[in-house]
């Protein structure tokens, strides 16, 4: 005969490794702008979250991590370019999600013709492959002149500074 036996109430706890509800996204922006990388995770127990840049701890400076784990980088510069990784970990496991930051720099330049300064200006570089770089301080590209078609269409621009 089969009998019955009563025991005390048992509690079943299901643990969950960290998973991403929202992953950080790749961002392309201009120098001196700010960027936010979002990272929303879930798990049980609640995961701890930290950020890394290019497989290293975040450098000190313009970085801020909000309570919701959003990473803010203020006044980005070319040195901020790279891969940003959100790492979530609990006793069950860990998960990572990465995004790439690309910064287009602003440059101050001078346009010269036979050692005469014609114009100073600033510009943003979007695609360096459009330029022929002869030295670190100058580049050459074709321009379409307005007006007189007999003007040169090749100009040399000299960097004065990168912002």
Note the pLDDT tens digit of each residue in 95-149: 999 999 998 865 555 555 555 555 555 545 544 444 444 444 444 443 433 444 4
> What pLDDT score was predicted for residue 110?
54
Sheet holding 63-65, edge to edge: 35-37, 71-73, 63-65
| Cβ contact 106:98 at 8 Å | no
The residues, any chain, with a CB within 8 Å of residue 43's CB and separated by 6 or more, are 16, 17, 18, 19, 88, 90, 92
Which structure tokens are listed for 137? 């301080």
User: Is 0.75 topped by the overall pTM?
Assistant: no
User: What structural domains does the chain harbor?
Assistant: 16-104 (2.60.40.10), 106-162 (no CATH)
> What pLDDT score was predicted for residue 120?
55
**Cβ burial 24-54 (10 Å sphere, 16+ → b, else e):** beebeeebeeebebbbebebeeebebbbebe
């Amino acid at each position: 005969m089969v009998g019955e036996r009563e025991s005390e109430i048992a509690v079943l706890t299901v643990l969950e490794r960290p998973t991403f509800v929202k992953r950080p996204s790749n961002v392309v922006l201009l120098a001196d702008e700010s960027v936010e990388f979002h990272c929303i995770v879930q798990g049980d127990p609640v995961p701890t979250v930290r950020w890394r840049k290019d497989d290293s701890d975040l450098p000190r400076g313009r970085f801020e991590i909000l309570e919701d784990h959003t990473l803010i980088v203020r006044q980005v510069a070319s040195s901020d370019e790279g891969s940003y990784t959100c790492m979530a970990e609990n006793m069950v496991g860990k998960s990572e999600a990465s995004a790439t930051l690309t910064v287009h720099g602003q440059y101050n330049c001078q346009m010269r013709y036979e050692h005469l300064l014609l114009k100073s200006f600033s510009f943003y570089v979007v695609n360096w492959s459009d330029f022929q770089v002869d030295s670190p301080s100058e580049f050459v590209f074709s321009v379409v002149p307005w007006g007189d078609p007999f003007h040169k269409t090749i100009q040399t621009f000299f960097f004065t500074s990168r912002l």
